Amino acid sequence: MIVSSSELVKSIDHTILKSQATVVEVGKACQLAKKLKFAAMFVSPCYVKLAAELLATGTTKVGTAVGFPLGTQHTTAKCFEAINSIVHGAEEIDFVLNVGFLKAGRYEDVYQEMRAIVLAAKRQQLKDNIKHSIITKVIIEAGLLTEQEKKMACKLAEKARVDFVKTSTGFNPEAGGATQADVRLLRRNLPLTIGVKASGGIRTTEQALMMLEAGANRIGTSAGVQIIEGYKELAMAKK
């Protein structure tokens, strides 16, 4: 698969989710995301309003994480967090699956939570008369799951009508990050109407391109700028 510079840019969800991120750092990240026209800029919930103000005139959407990074919050808390972030300007919601429930076979609980968060996001969209769709992505921490559990997560995500299934938070050392094998598995087990987001440990141009080749539609990374610069260097080297 040949990826153009514009395609690569539009696939990147640039992130600054580290706990020590300052207002200045978040502001700089948003300005870069806006300048480069990344798909989205992901910030912590406390910075959503700031990001929405800084990105108001650009094409880059504002994203945030819900139930991050463990996914063990109560469903009600996750729904409130999603709604609160949307009220303050978030356009994309990446929420963490309750991995323990999935591994225990509590599939109905997992489905009900996914569906509740999706409905909360969509209802807030309608309530606020938001012209574009609020995008929801469920983070499954694929590195903690068996192959059958990953397939079940895909099945439940499809039933819950999420927009994307995302590989990892990148914040759980036991789970690791995105792998090509997991991206391929997700892509095979999801309809084309649901996207795949590869995230966790993607820091180079080569890694990003491999994930897109494997079937990812979005790349979650804090190294978005470096990835684009690396792509330009590769393009120049081929001339």
Instruction: Assess whether 28 carries a catalytic annotation.
Output: no
Residue with tokens 């990003």: 208
Instruction: Assess whether 166 carries a catalytic annotation.
Output: yes
Stretch (H or E) spanning 42: strand 40-43
Instruction: Assess whether 137 carries a catalytic annotation.
Output: no
Catalytic position from the list 78, 137, 150, 166: 166
Q: Are 207 and 170 in contact (CB under 8 A)?
A: no
Could you tell me which residues are beta bridge partners of residue 148? Answer: none
Q: Report d(CA 235, CA 230) in Å as an integer.
A: 9
Q: Cβ atoms within 10 A of the Cβ of 71, count?
A: 23
Helices (H) and strands (E) in the chain, counts: 10, 8
Q: Report d(CA 239, CA 231) in Å as an integer.
A: 13
CA gyration radius for the chain? 17
What is the DSSP secondary structure assignment for residue 46, as one 8-state letter? G
Catalytic position from the list 94, 137, 163, 182: 94
Active-site residue set: 94, 166, 197
